[in-house]
Amino acid sequence: MTGGRVPLIGIGGIDSPDMALAKIEAGATLIQLYTGLIYEGPSLIGRIKDYLAAAVKAANADNIRDLTGRRATEWAARDLEDLF
């Protein structure tokens, strides 16, 4: 809905590369790591970077922006109860 004009920050539950990508595909232009770093340690950052780079390559995209929001409609259609 913001058309990329307002940065959206994906927060909460980012404890794996999969979840980081899910937040980006849902529309996040930034992700916040906090608890994931506590439980997974600083190596989480490198794992996320590598995973996102591979995801960009697998999608034949030019950069991560091309993946941002590509599943936003899917996420918006989910019931909140399914997310928790």
pLDDT for the residue numbered 1: 67
Q: How many domains does the chain have?
A: 1
Boundaries of domain holding 50: 9-70
Q: How far apart are CA 29 and CA 77, in angstroms?
A: 20
Report yes or no on 78 lying in a domain.
no
Segments of the chain scoring below 50 in pLDDT: none
Report yes or no on 64 lying in a domain.
yes
Report yes or no on 57 lying in a domain.
yes
Report yes or no on 52 lying in a domain.
yes
pLDDT for the residue numbered 83: 61
Instruction: Dump pLDDT digits (tens) for 26-43.
Output: 999 999 999 999 999 999
pLDDT for the residue numbered 59: 97
Sort 18 into a burial class: Cβ within 10 Å, 0-12 / 13-18 / 19+. Answer: exposed
pLDDT for the residue numbered 62: 96
Instruction: Please tell me what DSSP assigns to residue 65.
Output: G
Report yes or no on 15 lying in a domain.
yes
